[in-house]
Amino acid sequence: MKKEDFKTKKILELMEKEYKDAGIELDFKTPLQLLVATILSAQCTDERVNQVTKSLFKKYKGASDYAHADLKELEEDIRPTGFYKNKAKALKNSCKKILDDFKGKVPDSLEELITLPGVGRKTANIVLGNAYGKQAIAVDTHVNRVSNRLGLVNSDDPDEIERELCKIIPEDKWTSATHWFIHHGRRICKARKPLCNICFLRDYSNYYLSKYTPDLLKKTLS
């Protein structure tokens, strides 16, 4: 086994052990609800989104309710999530397309999902992985930061990170691994101050090794 493969395997084993119950933190019951919640979660906490969707999902039940909604009213209904004008437009236009092109059902393929206005690969992969039970890696800010700090990837481009992670992580773990990275990024490998002193991955982290034990890193990489 190559050194990089061993490292990835160890990281995944440790994350699985630590975060085996980790799942998505957005509340939803249907693919449409998850699509809506994920669009609303841009630049907003999952907690705030869950507060808003509690009443939103009672008022807007199907794609047609969003597609035919009064834009101003929809904006007000989602206002606490921020960037509400753009998000309301994305919801309305996506749902129009779902009605026109997909018979009112949220599509279940990446290629189709990314044709919806305001839906990129990250949102599409979240829907595929969590609402449709498919294997997908969704690269958000946490997946980006954690995978770079660990040294599993070396890129700032989410599409490239997704491609690289898909190559080194076994396919049956893509969706779970996304949850593990996000959990780790939120709780330990925080953006401003990573809690390396309590991190169970530090023996495998390029960031930690280069910062705190540069000589050891040289040896590990040689």
Q: Which of 20, 122, 134, 167 is catalytic?
A: 122
Between residues 37 and 150, which has the closer beta carbon with respect to ligand SF4? 150
Q: Examine the residue annotation and report whether 190 is marked as an active-site residue of this protein.
A: no
How many CB atoms neighbour CB 99 within 10 A? 17
- In terms of Cβ atoms closer than 10 Å to its own Cβ (0-12, 13-18, 19+), residue 72 is exposed
| DSSP output for 91-102 | HHHHHHHHHHHS
- Assign 117 to helix, strand or coil: coil
Between residues 103 and 192, which has the closer beta carbon with respect to ligand SF4? 192
CB 114 within 8 A of CB 120: yes
Least separation, in Å, of the C-beta of 158 and ligand SF4? 19
| CB burial string 156-177: b at 16+ within 10 A, e below | eebeebbebbeebbeeeebbbb
Per the listing, tokens 């669009």 go with 39
Q: Which of 10, 72, 140, 203 is catalytic?
A: 140
Measured CA to CA, the distance from residue 157 to residue 147 in angstroms comes to 12
Least separation, in Å, of the C-beta of 64 and ligand SF4? 45
Least separation, in Å, of the C-beta of 159 and ligand SF4? 22
Per CB under 6 A, residues contacting ligand SF4 are: 146, 149-150, 188-189, 194-196, 199, 201-202, 205, 207-208
Between residues 71 and 195, which has the closer beta carbon with respect to ligand SF4? 195
Least separation, in Å, of the C-beta of 17 and ligand SF4? 15
Least separation, in Å, of the C-beta of 3 and ligand SF4? 18
Q: Examine the residue annotation and report whether 140 is marked as an active-site residue of this protein.
A: yes
Between residues 122 and 149, which has the closer beta carbon with respect to ligand SF4? 149
How many CB atoms neighbour CB 186 within 10 A? 16
Between residues 107 and 151, which has the closer beta carbon with respect to ligand SF4? 151
CA nearest neighbour of 114 among 130, 100, 94: 94
Measured CA to CA, the distance from residue 162 to residue 129 in angstroms comes to 14
Point out the residues that are catalytic: 122, 140
